[in-house]
Amino acid sequence: MKKIKVLQVNKLYYPEVGGIEKTLQLISEGLNKKTDLKVLVCQKKGKGRSENVNGVQVCRTGSFGVVASVPISISFIWELRKMSREMDIVHYHMPFPLGDLACLLSGYKGKVAAYWHSDVVKQKKWMFLYRPIMEAFLKRADVIFVGAKGIAEGSKYLKPYLDKCHVVPFAVSEDILQDGSVYLKENGYSRDNDSLQILFVGRLVYYKGISVLIDAVKKLSDSAHLTVVGDGVLEKEMKQKCQELNIQDRVTFLGKISDEQLKQCYRQADVFVLPSTQRSEAFGLVQLEAMAYGLPVVNTNLKSGVPEVSIHKETGLTVPPEDPVQLAEALRWMEEHSGERVEMGKRARKRVETYYSEQALFSGLMKEYRELLGDTLV
């Protein structure tokens, strides 16, 4: 059987790091030997170039910069038109307005797949321009992949297309899964901490709920400590907020750290928190990473895939978004019930191993690709 030719399309690629970029890199490196795969993305700004990244052929088109989270790249449209001609499947990662437009202008007649990562939430004022393009693209797509059922059902835009939405769960990297396994075999699930160690990992932006989390920490005992990993536009404001609430000694901001330092943070924490407030948080890959280290998760019941990853009262606790009182109550429960907390962590680790491995993701996509092409595969 011939190898399927697949073009993966997104705004950006590694070393740019975000949830979509992590997933795209995982897919590209994992399917590179199983398919004839190439990646087409934009530069954030500057001249275009083609390169080999960890064995993956990546074409980065030139860009004048990024406006409303979209790279401004005229050459992207022409490059997609050229590269797609030889492909069996062009696989888009959404939302990406330039990608949608380029698809519609490409004249490509083959199979189109879309991975819907989240709704557009922050740039709502631009939706009057983008929505007609997005709707035309979604009609053109042969299949729409979502990481969880809740992503499709909670989306404002996917309801007319639920019949072609297929669940292909996102995955935690094998590196994280194995490192977590080694740590837990050597140290067990119970951390040797004198006080509750809370961990947050994410960009410090509006929808991540970091302000709500800081309000919740204020309501906890003085011994509870929060470690914040990540940077972003709210970093200075959040540090100032901790000063105003007089909890600066109970909150540590580490900023952007290395992968090895992040692993150490997972090893040292008692509980992981994903306090996101908007559907922009469609899944929360960091939940999987924390669960791989046997951590229970406190997340929010967004109308997205977030509460499907860590299950309420099974692998953690789920609270309403933007509610610091209930978030504090959940964290206080974690502090006061160490035995149950450890058992939740064990179930969290088992859930990741069962449903969210790299192999599950790769097998799911390959199955979908083959079904999409059907009799055209020889």
Q: What is the pLDDT of residues 193-248, one digit of tens each?
A: 999 999 999 999 989 999 999 999 999 999 999 999 999 999 999 999 999 999 99
Question: Which of these, 321, 280, 322, 327, lies nearest to 301 by C-alpha position?
Answer: 321
Give me the residue label for tokens 């907020």: 241
- Please state, in angstroms and rounded to a whole number, the distance separating the CA atoms of residues 168 and 149: 9
* Beta-strand runs (E) in 98-186: 111-116, 143-146, 165-167
325 and 242 in a common domain: yes
Least confident of 301-315, 328-342, 364-378: 364-378
| 125 vs 319: which has the higher pLDDT | 319
Half-sphere exposure of 265 (CA within 13 A, CB side): 27
330 and 186 in a common domain: yes
Written as six digits, the tokens of 170 are 């996102």
209 and 159 in a common domain: no
Give residue 378's pLDDT. 52
Give residue 88's pLDDT. 97
269 and 285 in a common domain: yes
109 and 232 in a common domain: no
Question: Which of these, 86, 27, 19, 79, lies nearest to 49 by C-alpha position?
Answer: 79
Q: Residue 123 pLDDT > 60, yes or no?
A: no
Least confident of 68-72, 146-150, 251-255, 294-298: 68-72
185 and 88 in a common domain: no
pTM for this predicted structure: 0.87
Mean pLDDT, range 350-372, rounded to an integer: 95
Q: What is the CATH number of the domain that holds 249?
A: 3.40.50.2000
Which residues constitute the domain of residue 256?
174-355
328 and 259 in a common domain: yes
Coil vs helix vs strand at 321: coil
Summary mean pLDDT of the chain:
94
Number of folded domains in the chain?
2
144 and 197 in a common domain: no
Mean pLDDT, range 28-56, rounded to an integer: 96
Contact 119, 157 (CB under 8 A): yes
98 and 167 in a common domain: yes
211 and 312 in a common domain: yes
Give residue 121's pLDDT. 55
Residues 6+ apart with CB under 8 A from 244: none
